[in-house]
Amino acid sequence: MQIRVRGRSFMAFVVTPEAPLALWLEALRAQSARAPGFFAGRPVIVDCSLLKADTPGVATLLNELETLGLGVIDVENAADIPGADPWKRPLTGGRPGGLVEIKPSEAAKVEPPPSAPGLIVEDNVRSGQSILFPKGDVTVLGSVSSGAEVLAGGSIHIYGALRGRALAGAQGFAKARIFCRKLEAELVSIDGFYQTAEDMDAALRGAAAHIWLEAGRIMIAAQR
Amino acid sequence: MSKVVVVTSGKGGVGKTTSTAAIGAALAQSGEKVVVVDFDVGLRNLDLVMGAERRVVFDLINVIQGDAKLHQALIRDKRIETLSILPASQTRDKDALTSDGVAKVIAELREKFDWILCDSPAGIERGPAMAMHHADIAIVVTNPEVSSVRDSDRIIGLLDSKTERAQRGERVEKHLLITRYDPVRAARGDMLKVEDVLDILSIPLLGIIPESQEVLKASNVGVPVTLNNPETAPARAYQDAVRRLRGEKLEMSIPQERRSLVERLFGRRVA
């Protein structure tokens, strides 16, 4: 029987950890929090050329990377790195690529929040109050005051005036939208992109508004 | 059924103490048994505005700590028999207000009085939290000005979440009292309009107190403005507010100073 072998090419990411490892891991954690899903489904090669056998934390490094969700497929320049052997595979012939920027927009792969019943807030959201609902949409029947904020994984609907902050798609959902009956917001944000009151078109102030994200830009339109 | 009313605002200097004194005096004049309680431990003022500063022996903290009995600390007003004041301590700080102690004092006051008016300190820390905790009714004092309105909004949020009533799943009855309202500046657009304040805070309006020299005059002589000169515009505005607080339905108006014909002819040009 003839076994057929087909080729498929992936781009692997190469990370080069450096000492102190605790700081490096912290930075990586912060970056992947900003762009959740960035490493999902990507092969990762760990280049240990900047590490020594006695760098603190080196023994647990590879396990830490796995728990952070990095799919390590190979370890390079790791002749004297303890505990790296199980990950070593003799991969050769890769073509070096350029730097890959970890952009929050790469998080677009994140699943839209499940359409579970959203959160309904019957009252005004008062100054200093914060409504956090990462699981889905938030509907506010009253107004959102200056100094208050609503943070939703999905879209935000405000039947009163929006005078505070509304942050929709807060976990990396670019299709989230914000609707309000009266736009006097201090800040609106979708998927990490934001616009402050200062940058909003003055003609839109006080209007019923629909806010969405288009190619990384916050778009606001008045509704009749 | 006695009622515990907190007079609060978030922001300082908007007129909480003046309003507590004026409303307390007007309520007592209508025959109700009233006590005004100063919660501003360390920065007490209510005794001055009420003209009782020279008669303070014991205070709220003494009662809380068991150093004095409640009746020893209560000062009866010399002008109105049914009005008393419970002063704050000037030498302690707000940490002396223990939850249990305040609860006990309020419970005891409920047995003696129809209305317990708590004058809250500014801010959102322990003092204001203690002053509002047992409230059935809140009078939110606001100046028609953005920072005051936003602070009041914050306080309303706390009234809806941190008070005993909120924790029992009930609501504190909230009323808005707009103070230092200047019709001339409002007409010029230098001040937030009443509609805008109501739109933002969305709680019922108890009254609008016009800006007036009478308020300062009254507090300088240590007499609540409603007693000092009941015919002045702010006094009449407070009297209307008290009637609304007691459940009367009154049309909202902003009392104006009554001017003589001569003043009317010449007063405006001089001012």
What is the residue extent of each domain of chain A? Answer: 1-112, 118-222
Using an 8 Å CB-CB cutoff, list chain B residues near A142.
202
3-state secondary structure of B84: strand
| Model confidence pLDDT, tens digit, residues B125-154 | 999 999 999 999 999 999 999 999 999 999
- pLDDT score for A111: 56
Beta bridge partners of B7: B119, B139
ipTM of the complex: 0.75
DSSP per-residue letters across A108-137: GGSPPPP----EEE-S-B-TT-EEEETTS-
Report pLDDT for A173.
Answer: 93
Tokens of A47: 């280049």
Record: contact B151-A127, CB cut-off 8 A: yes
Instruction: Tell me the chain A residues in contact with residue B202 when contact means C-beta distances shorter than 8 Å.
Output: 124, 142-143
| Alpha-carbon distance A221 to nearest alpha carbon in chain B (angstroms) | 23
Q: Where are the beta strands (DSSP E) in A163-202?
A: 165-168, 178-183, 187-190, 193-196
Has this prediction a pTM greater than 0.80? no
Triad A151, A154, A155: Cα angle to 5°: 85
Higher pLDDT, B59 or B262: B59
The pLDDT tens digits of the residues spanning A78-113 come to 777 777 777 777 777 676 776 776 665 444 445 555
B107-124 per-position pLDDT tens digit:
999 999 999 999 999 999
Query: Which positions of chain A have pLDDT values less than 50?
Result: 105-109
Distance CA B210, CA B115 (A): 25
Q: How far apart are alpha carbons A218 and B212 in whole angstroms? A: 48
Q: Which residues contact A79 (CB under 8 A, 6 or more apart)?
A: none
CA proximity to B165, closest of B211, B133, B204? B133
Comparison of pLDDT for B88 and A43, the residue scoring more: B88
Here the tokens at position A152 are: 């939703």
> What does pLDDT average to over chain B?
92
Q: For chain B, give the number of residues.
A: 271
- d(Cα B17, Cα B9) in Å, to the nearest integer? 11
A69: phi then psi, degrees, rounded to nearest 5: 95, 15
Which of B13-27, B166-180, B248-262 comes out lowest in average pLDDT?
A: B248-262
Contact (CB, 8 A) for B150 and A146: yes
Residue A144 carries which DSSP code? B
pLDDT at A65: 82
Size of chain A, expressed as the number of residues it contains: 224
Strand order in the sheet with A156-162: A119-121, A138-140, A156-162, A178-183, A208-214, A217-223
Contact across the interface for A161 and B154, Cβ inside 8 Å? no
pLDDT at A36: 67
Interface check B77 vs A, CB under 8 A = no
Cβ pairs bridging A and B (under 8 Å): 38
Closest CA to A159 of A113, A124, A186: A124
**Is B151 close to A142, i.e. CB distance below 8 A?**
no
Q: CATH code for A118-222?
A: 2.160.20.70
A interface with B, Cβ–Cβ < 8 A, is 123-124, 126-129, 142-143, 145-148, 161, 163
Comparing B25 with A19, the larger pLDDT belongs to B25
Token readout for A208 is 């019923």
Is domain A1-112 in CATH 3.40.50, yes or no?
no
> Beta strand A165-168 with A149-152: parallel, antiparallel or unpaired?
parallel
At B205 the three-state DSSP class reads strand
In chain A, pLDDT over 70 holds for what percent of residues? 87
Whole-number Å distance between alpha carbons of A140 and A119 = 8
Cis preceding-peptide flag for A20 (omega within 30 of 0): yes
DSSP three-state, residue B203:
coil
Report the alpha-carbon distance of residue B45 to residue B61 in Å, rounded.
15
- Running DSSP on this structure, what letter comes out for residue A146? T
pLDDT value at position B60? 95
Considering chain B, what percentage of its residues have pLDDT values greater than 90?
A: 84
CA A192 centroid distance within chain: 8
pLDDT at B270: 42
Name B181's bridge partners: B210
Q: Residues 177-236, chain B: which have Cβ within 8 Å of A?
A: 199-200, 202
Chain A residues touching B199 at Cβ < 8 A? 161
Nearest CA to B140 out of B109, B179, B108 is that of B179
Pair type for strands A208-214 and A178-183: antiparallel
